Structure formats: structure tokens, C-alpha cells
Amino acid sequence: MDYKIIDIDGQNKTFNLSYQELKEKYLYFNSLNEETFFKEIPKILHLVCIISFLKEIPAYCLVADECLIHELVHCLDETCEKDTLMFNKLKKLFKIIELT
């Protein structure tokens, strides 16, 4: 699928996305063990942004306290424990972007 945007400099840009590729990335990240999941957070955040944009998920479902992007950022800035409790929480929150 192609989608077009006008970037911050007013330039037209076209991006090509594969639904199947996005779904495979989601399934891959969802299958990761705890240690690898925490290491992949920057890539996971990127996927969350793309899928949530395409699915038109409201920002309040992603960035508010206790929501997916907010919690992933806490892991990046190390203001939370990267432990099993957080991993399980993130896996539950990750379902918001699930592609079926």
C-alpha cells in the first residue's frame, strides 16, 4: 500500500508499506523473550508509531500514563525497572496495535 504525506519542508513524499510485512514484524516483536524485547524497544516504538497511525488509534490510548508509547519511553529513559512485571505489562499493551 502506498500513502503520501507532505513533510515539514512542504515536500511530497510517498511511502510504500506492506500489510503482511507489518504483521510479520508485529508477530516477531510479540514473540520475543523479555531480554530481547527490551533491547528492541527503539524498533518496537517505530512499529507502534506506523501501525497506530494507520489504524488511527487515538493518542490518548498510546501516550497517556500507563499506555504503550509512554511505558516504552520509560524503558528507554530508564525511569522504570526492566523486569518481568514491566515486560508482561508491555506485552498486554502491545495488543492495541495487533494486526489480524
* Domain that includes residue 77, residue range: 2-97
Number of domains in the chain: 1
Task: Give the tens place of pLDDT for each residue, 8-62.
Answer: 999 999 999 999 999 999 999 999 999 999 999 999 999 999 999 999 999 999 9
Residue 3: band (very low, low, confident or very high) from pLDDT cuts 50, 70, 90: confident
CB 4 within 8 A of CB 22: no
For 27-75, give the DSSP string: HHHHH--HHHHHHTHHHHHHHHHHHHHHTT--GGGTSSTTSHHHHHHHH
